[in-house]
């Protein structure tokens, strides 16, 4: 039986944006958005106003577009995560607190489980996303440096999940239990490879080891950045490859590919 859930958006609640406002949200210039409209990549709505037509984009249209377009989604996620003064994210991809993250994680689980290609492995993807996202909240509770919460988005047809936060980052967090950590690369290496015990009453800290174990045993890939260190991991890797990135972010940025 195929179940179709249709949601009718109340026009009064679906905010409308001008082309310049929409371009700001998408972190592109107006000319690019006009080009996308012309090419059909992202078509604007049109409202007659006298002899002319106003172009507009509804909030729902923007979120739907981003839910399908990996490059555009990556761009807004990166802008929010890496810029010193981030713009607000479209609501569908922003989890200001843990309860919203939990609800959206359940949605990811539902969407993956319903997909015939992923119904065997969906639980591993959800468990990894859960560990990374919950880490963001657990390690930054009451200590968010500027914007609290997590950017959380996925495109199943692209085989991608992105999670990011503007928290304290892995080095600052791990230094509390391992003060001799030299830099971001050493912190990432510890986070992904060393089992940290004897942290009572602090019991957190092994979620990224779990992520590593799952990635290396399955046909998944991971990119994870914190500070200036960027880690890459794929199936059968004995150790993660950690390099210095030209972009710096204080918090964490993760892309799971499946």
Partner 1 sequence: MIIFLKKFGLTLTSRDDGREALAAFQPSLAAVDANEAVEIDFNGVNTLSPSWGDEFFTPLLKMFGARLILVNAGNPSVQATLDLLEKIHGLKFNVKN
Least distance to partner 1 from the beta carbon of 215, Å? 11
Q: Does residue 122 interact with partner 1 by CB under 8 A?
A: yes
Stretch that binds partner 1, among 142-150, 202-210, 225-233, 237-245 (CB under 8 A): 202-210
DSSP string, 4-49: ----PPPTTTS-EE-HHHHHHHHTS-HHHHHHHHHHTSSPPEEEEE
**Rounded alpha-carbon distances, angstroms, from residue 51 to 19, 54, 73, 150, 223:** 19, 10, 35, 44, 51
Q: Does residue 100 interact with partner 1 by CB under 8 A?
A: no
Q: Does residue 109 interact with partner 1 by CB under 8 A?
A: yes
Is residue 118 within 8 A of residue 258, CB to CB? The reply is: yes
Stretch that binds partner 1, among 17-25, 52-60, 102-110, 162-170 (CB under 8 A): 102-110
Is residue 240 within 8 A of residue 192, CB to CB? The reply is: yes
> In DSSP terms, which residues pair with 17 in a beta bridge?
57
Is residue 134 within 8 A of residue 167, CB to CB? The reply is: no
Least distance to partner 1 from the beta carbon of 195, Å? 5
Stretch that binds partner 1, among 19-27, 63-71, 195-203, 246-254 (CB under 8 A): 195-203
- Give the Cβ contact number of residue 113 at 10 Å: 13
Q: Does residue 2 interact with partner 1 by CB under 8 A?
A: no
- Give the Cβ contact number of residue 164 at 10 Å: 27
Least distance to partner 1 from the beta carbon of 75, Å? 28
> In DSSP terms, which residues pair with 243 in a beta bridge?
230
Given candidates 98, 160, 175, 178, which one binds partner 1 under the rule CB under 8 A?
A: 98
Per-residue binder mask for partner 1 (CB under 8 A), 27-56, x = binder: ------------------------------
Q: 208-239 burial, b if ≥16 CB within 10 A, otherwise e?
A: bbbbbebbbebebbbebbbbbbbbebbeeeee
Q: Does residue 224 interact with partner 1 by CB under 8 A?
A: no
Q: Does residue 120 interact with partner 1 by CB under 8 A?
A: yes
Q: Which residues bind partner 1 (CB under 8 A)?
A: 98, 102, 105-106, 109, 113, 120-124, 126-128, 130-131, 134, 138, 195, 197, 203-204, 206-207, 209-210, 213-214, 217
């Amino acid at each position: 039986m195929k179940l179709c859930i249709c949601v009718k958006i109340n026009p009064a609640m679906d905010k409308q944006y001008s082309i310049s406002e929409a371009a700001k949200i998408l972190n592109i210039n107006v000319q690019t958005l006009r080009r996308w409209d012309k090419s059909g990549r992202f078509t604007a709505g049109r409202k007659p106003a006298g002899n002319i037509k106003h172009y507009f984009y509804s909030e729902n249209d923007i979120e739907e577009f981003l839910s399908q377009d990996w490059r555009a989604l990556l761009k807004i996620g990166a802008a929010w995560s890496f810029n010193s003064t981030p713009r607000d994210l479209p609501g569908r991809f922003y989890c200001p607190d843990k309860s919203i993250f939990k609800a959206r994680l359940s949605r990811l689980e539902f969407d993956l489980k319903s997909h015939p290609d992923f119904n065997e492995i969906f639980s591993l993807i959800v468990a990894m996303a859960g560990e990374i996202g919950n880490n963001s909240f657990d390690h930054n509770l009451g200590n968010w440096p500027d914007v609290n919460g997590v950017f959380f988005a996925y495109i199943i047809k692209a085989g991608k999940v992105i999670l990011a936060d503007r928290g304290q980052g892995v080095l600052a967090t791990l230094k509390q239990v391992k003060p001799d950590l030299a830099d971001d690369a050493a912190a990432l290496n510890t986070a992904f490879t060393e089992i940290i015990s004897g942290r009572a009453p602090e019991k957190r800290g092994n979620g990224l080891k779990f992520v590593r174990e799952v990635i290396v045993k399955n046909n998944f890939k991971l990119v994870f950045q914190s500070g200036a260190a960027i880690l890459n991991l794929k199936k059968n890797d004995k150790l993660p490859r950690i390099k210095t990135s030209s972009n710096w972010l204080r918090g964490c940025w993760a892309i799971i590919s499946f």
